[in-house]
Amino acid sequence: DAGVIQSPRHEVTEMGQEVTLRCKPISGHDYLFWYRQTMMRGLELLIYFNNNVPIDDSGMPEDRFSAKMPNASFSTLKIQPSEPRDSAVYFCASSLGISYRQFFGPGTRLTVL
């Protein structure tokens, strides 16, 4: 298995632009997680899905952030409009169950100028 796949690996955009991050979980995993990592705040859970359904989005910072999972093999995290403080590394992870080990993707490094 190729593991969790994220794209793009790097994204540089200007403030106010829409940003879409993509994730393909490991086949057969029923949980998908989106995290954000910064030096100041560490690793934060943004939202997670179970069988494509959002379960807990309490970590989503504000309405500018939205996440979807249209099918079991694809999820997106969208930021619209983006702001410089959104600059971070965004990770996607998947697992076979809610309390099982998580497999992380390589991350997307987002820079908002």
Partner 1 sequence: SQQGEEDPQALSIQEGENATMNCSYKTSINNLQWYRQNSGRGLVHLILIRSNEREKHSGRLRVTLDTSKKSSSLLITASRAADTASYFCATDVSGDMRFGAGTRLTVKP
The verdict on 104 binding partner 1 (CB under 8 A) reads yes
Residue 82 Cα distances to 42, 43, 74, 104, angstroms:
20, 19, 22, 24
Cβ-contact 21, 87 below 8 angstroms: no
Minimum CB distance to partner 1, residue 70 (Å): 23
**Does 113 interact with partner 1 (rule: CB under 8 A)?**
no
Q: How far is the CB of 33 from partner 1 (least distance, A)?
A: 7
Q: How many other C-beta atoms are found inside a 10 Å radius of the C-beta of residue 48?
A: 22
Comparison of 81 and 111: residue with beta carbon closer to partner 1: 111
Residue 103: count of CB within 10 angstroms of its CB: 17
What track of x and - describes contact with partner 1 for positions 12 through 51 (by CB under 8 A)?
A: ---------------------x-x------xx-x------
What are the CA-CA distances from residue 58 to residues 7, 19, 35 (Å)?
Answer: 24, 20, 12
The footprint of partner 1 (CB under 8 A) covers 4, 33, 35, 42-43, 45, 56, 91, 93, 98-107
